[in-house]
Every structure is written in C-alpha cells, then in structure tokens.
C-alpha cells in the first residue's frame, strides 16, 4: 500500500497538534502547596477563559498572542483555576474560568474562540488555549455525578471532578472520532457534502468511534454508512484535539475496494470521486470551495493533492 509522507506540509504543523513546549506536569495537580507557590510566583502567567473564548491581541511585530497577566493582577477564583503546565524556562501557566471575559483593555485586544485563534496563535498559545477550553467544556457538562447524581466539585487544578456524596472521581473525557480521506484504485479522492453545509463545500468523511469498535472498523463503517463505499487498507496519519466540545480527531488515509457511491442522504447529501485534475478545475470554476479553517481535513486532502490547496 501507499505510504503517505508529509514533506510538503512539514513546515505547517496541524493546528493544536504541534508541540507546545509546555510540560503539563500532571504530578503537580494534587500538590496544593506546590500549586499555591506556582500561582504566586512572579513569572507565572494567567489568562481568563470563558465560553470557549479568551482575549487575544496583535503585537507590534505582527504576531498574535493570548493576553496573559501575572497572577497578582488576576482575579482570584481558586475554585475555577486550571493549572496547564510549565515551560522549559520554569514559567507556569494557569487559566481562570470565569462567567465573562475581562473588559477590553485596548484597541486591538479582542475575544476569540479556537477556530479564529487557532489560525493566529503560536503553537504554545494555541496549546494552552485548547487545553483550557477542553477543560472548561468538560467542567460545564459534568457538574453532576454520573454515578449518584450529586453535585461534584472541582479538584486536581481542574483535571478531576470529585463527588462528595459517593466519593467517585470523574476525569475529563475525550471522544474519539475518525476523519478519513478515501482514495480509489485510480487514486481519486472521495469528498462529501454534509446536508447543512453551504453550496460548494466538500470535505473528507468523518464520524464518531462507537463503543466496542476499533478505529479501523470505525473508518470502514462510517465510509460505508455515509457513502456506500467499501474500504480496505487504512493508514493512520495524524490526530488533532477538537474540543467542540470534546473530540479527538484521528486522521486516516483509506483505500477503497469499491467505487459505486450511495450516500445516506441524512448526514451526507452528495459525495463524489475527484481526480487531482477534477479538483483543480472545480476550484478554478468556483464549483468546489477550497477547505478553510483549522481542521485536519484540509491537511488530509492536501496530502493526497500533493501541493498546497488554493486559499479560500
């Protein structure tokens, strides 16, 4: 089978998947004395996360960064303090979960969610924000004990919810999802249109891994359910945290062993085989919109396409 190499996308890491340079230092999460010392250390940096957003700002040299302050300037709400990790210079990072973001500080400071910020921030800042948003989403949706129904309390600097009634400890959940570019014997790629997508938007197929299923089985099932195409060999490419609200996208290239398409009509409205030439012509004619945004889907398509996709 083909082995897919990344040489033409190596210089552009997948958003949220690049090394962030932050050591999550999980062993510190239950050490209250260490956390208190880290919190009050003058080099510590803190940002507020609220509703999946944080404040970002443009720097004079043209970069965009998370707005972070020393902890003494941050409002102390220990109950909603997430320890995110420490970098190799010993700087520790915390996120504070609040009901609202602080007011605008200056002209260019603005609230941003992951879809916007992921395109702009450095791998370090994107990594900090995706960690904080994933924790916030999980905390928001898991306030009650799934064992006994009692209200749970935050612990381990944001990484555990504990039940005071039955003693259960609940950990952040991550839901695996598969996303795959399927190619056929003629090396054409299968792209589909979801029912609610705007006209002209085509992308890879994707879906959630079901209980009791391997990821390879999941790839084959999803492709067959959505497009009626049978898949043989499956090759893992890369993953991407996707906390909308709690997924981990597992990216694959998959080889079809059949080519007839029969869409399910519920999730997928239309699916088509594209040769590289078909796709190039469809982009030029405006018939297919180039994929945009931060999703790993664009990278999977690009890996097959062999060169960067046109800008939307």
Among 26, 76, 141, 148, binds Zn ion (CB under 5 A): 148
Among 8, 104, 143, 147, binds Zn ion (CB under 5 A): 147
Between 23 and 150, name the residue whose CB sits nearer to Zn ion. 150
Among 54, 96, 117, 163, binds Zn ion (CB under 5 A): 163
Which positions from 165 through 184 interact with Zn ion, judged by CB under 5 A?
A: 165-166, 168
- Label the pairing between strands 247-256 and 175-183: parallel
User: Rounded CA gap, 137 and 261, in Å?
Assistant: 37
Between 141 and 281, name the residue whose CB sits nearer to Zn ion. 141
Torsion of CA 255, 259, 263, 269, to 10 degrees: 80
* 143 forms part of the interface with Zn ion (CB under 5 A): no
By CB under 5 A, which span of 56-64, 97-105, 161-169, 265-273 interacts with Zn ion? 161-169
Among 78, 150, 175, 185, binds Zn ion (CB under 5 A): 150
Between 170 and 280, name the residue whose CB sits nearer to Zn ion. 170
By CB under 5 A, which span of 13-21, 40-48, 143-151, 191-199 interacts with Zn ion? 143-151
Between 167 and 308, name the residue whose CB sits nearer to Zn ion. 167
By CB under 5 A, which span of 121-129, 139-147, 210-218, 285-293 interacts with Zn ion? 139-147
Is residue 123 within 8 A of residue 20, CB to CB? The reply is yes
Among 14, 145, 189, 191, binds Zn ion (CB under 5 A): 145
State the nearest-atom distance from the C-beta of 41 to Zn ion, in Å: 35
User: Rounded CA gap, 57 and 116, in Å?
Assistant: 12
By CB under 5 A, which span of 41-49, 157-165, 230-238, 267-275 interacts with Zn ion? 157-165
- 9: region left, alpha or beta (phi > 0 left; psi from -120 to 50 alpha): alpha
Between 163 and 298, name the residue whose CB sits nearer to Zn ion. 163
Between 30 and 166, name the residue whose CB sits nearer to Zn ion. 166
State the nearest-atom distance from the C-beta of 145 to Zn ion, in Å: 3
By CB under 5 A, which span of 15-23, 58-66, 138-146, 178-186 interacts with Zn ion? 138-146
Binding site for Zn ion (CB under 5 A): 145, 147-148, 150, 163, 165-166, 168
């Amino acid at each position: 089978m083909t082995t897919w190499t990344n040489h033409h996308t190596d210089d552009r890491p997948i958003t949220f998947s690049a090394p962030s340079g932050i050591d999550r230092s999980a062993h510190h999460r239950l050490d209250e004395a260490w956390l208190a010392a880290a919190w009050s250390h003058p080099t510590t940096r803190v940002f507020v996360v609220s509703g999946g957003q944080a404040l970002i700002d443009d720097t004079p040299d043209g970069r965009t960064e998370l707005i972070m302050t020393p902890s003494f300037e941050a409002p102390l709400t220990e109950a909603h303090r997430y320890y995110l990790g420490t970098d190799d210079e010993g700087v520790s990072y915390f996120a504070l979960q609040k009901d609202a973001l602080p007011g605008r500080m200056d002209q260019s400071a603005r609230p941003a969610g992951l879809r916007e910020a992921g395109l702009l921030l450095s791998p370090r800042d994107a990594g900090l924000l995706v960690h904080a948003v994933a924790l916030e989403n999980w905390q928001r949706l898991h306030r009650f004990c799934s064992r006994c129904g009692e209200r749970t309390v935050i612990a381990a600097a944001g990484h555990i919810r504990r039940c005071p009634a039955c003693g259960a400890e609940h950990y952040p959940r991550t839901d695996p999802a598969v996303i795959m570019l399927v190619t056929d014997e003629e090396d054409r790629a299968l792209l589909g249109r979801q029912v609610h997508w705007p006209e002209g938007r085509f992308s890879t197929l994707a879906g959630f891994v079901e209980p009791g299923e391997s990821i390879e089985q999941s790839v084959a099932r999803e492709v067959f359910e959505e497009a009626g195409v049978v898949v043989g060999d499956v090759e893992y490419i890369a993953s991407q945290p996707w906390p909308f609200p709690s997924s981990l996208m597992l990216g694959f290239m998959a080889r079809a062993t059949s080519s007839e398409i029969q869409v399910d009509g519920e999730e997928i409205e239309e699916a088509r085989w594209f040769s590289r030439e078909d796709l190039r012509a469809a982009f030029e004619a405006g018939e297919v919109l180039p994929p945009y945004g931060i999703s790993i889907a664009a990278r999977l398509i690009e890996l097959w396409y062999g060169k960067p996709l046109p800008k939307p």
